[in-house]
Chain A
Amino acid sequence: GGIITQTPKFLIGQEGQKLTLKCQQNFNHDTMYWYRQDSGKGLRLIYYSITENDLQKGDLSEGYDASREKKSSFSLTVTSAQKNEMAVFLCASSRLGGREEQYFGPGTRLTVL
């Protein structure tokens, strides 16, 4: 088994601030993902990475940057936080890609004042 760790668990930011979210996995999975989930709604893919140093844009990449520093870690940066924004950011990983089960982390809850 393995685990996905996301830090921080809660993130409060100010409008216009640059905010970074971190994700670590010990599954030794190749592919990692960042999703945004608005309250009670679906998952929207922001970025994903097939291997270390790879980066692929998802459907919601505008306003975000991502970095896959090493196989086990994948970070997401909100480049300029929007006022009153509230969402949960979920990190996930899978063994090879789209046809494999994705394992999700517990999420980072973002609130922008």
Chain B
Amino acid sequence: GDSVTQTEGLVTLTKGLPVMLNCTYQTTYSPFLFWYVQHLNEAPKLLLKSSTDNKRTEHQGFYATLHKSSSSFHLQKSSVQLSDSALYFCALSDQAGSALGRLHFGAGTQLIVIP
């Protein structure tokens, strides 16, 4: 079945450094990938999404590129800020082209940015 793997449970970084949060997926359909971000005591919100192979998608300084050849959709930022501290979820849509689909969420990566 469809699944998403986020290998890092916790990433701690100093402000100003680059970050990459890993996301790999498995699906038999054409993939549609999402990154959601959840700040402390807030609801998750969409950060970015993509279904186009090898095209970089950007939002709020974060970017990700869907690579179908490696089944990956890693999230990156060139310089993290204290406000980026949050829980990040990668998610995969199933049922390609269907309105019946649901999302499969990864376990999440907690990013902590320190001064």
Chain A residues near B (Cβ < 8 Å): 30-31, 33, 40-45, 48, 50, 56, 58, 90, 96-99, 101-102, 104-107
Q: Is A99 within 8 A of B89, CB to CB?
A: no
Task: Using A40-B87, A42-B107, A99-B32 as known contacts, say yes or no to A105 and B101 having CB atoms under 8 A apart.
Answer: no
Least Cβ–Cβ distance between A39 and chain B, in angstroms:
11
How many B residues have CB within 8 A of the partner chain?
27
Identify which of B51, B95, B105, B108 contacts A97 (C-beta below 8 A). Answer: B95
Task: Using A43-B89, A105-B43 as known contacts, say yes or no to A97 and B106 having CB atoms under 8 A apart.
Answer: no
Q: Is A104 within 8 A of B93, CB to CB?
A: no
Q: Is A90 within 8 A of B99, CB to CB?
A: no
A-facing residues in B43-59 (Cβ within 8 Å): 43-46, 49, 51
* Chain A binding surface SS class: loop
Task: Using A40-B110, A42-B89, A42-B108 as known contacts, say yes or no to A101 and B46 having CB atoms under 8 A apart.
Answer: yes
Identify which of A40, A50, A106 contacts B100 (C-beta below 8 A). Answer: A50
Residues on the B chain within 8 Å of A96, using CB: 99
Given contacts A31-B99, A99-B101, A102-B36, 13 further A-B contacts (CB under 8 A): A42-B106, A42-B108, A44-B105, A45-B105, A50-B99, A90-B43, A97-B101, A98-B93, A98-B102, A99-B93, A104-B43, A104-B45, A106-B43
Q: Is B98 at the interface (CB under 8 A from chain A)?
A: yes
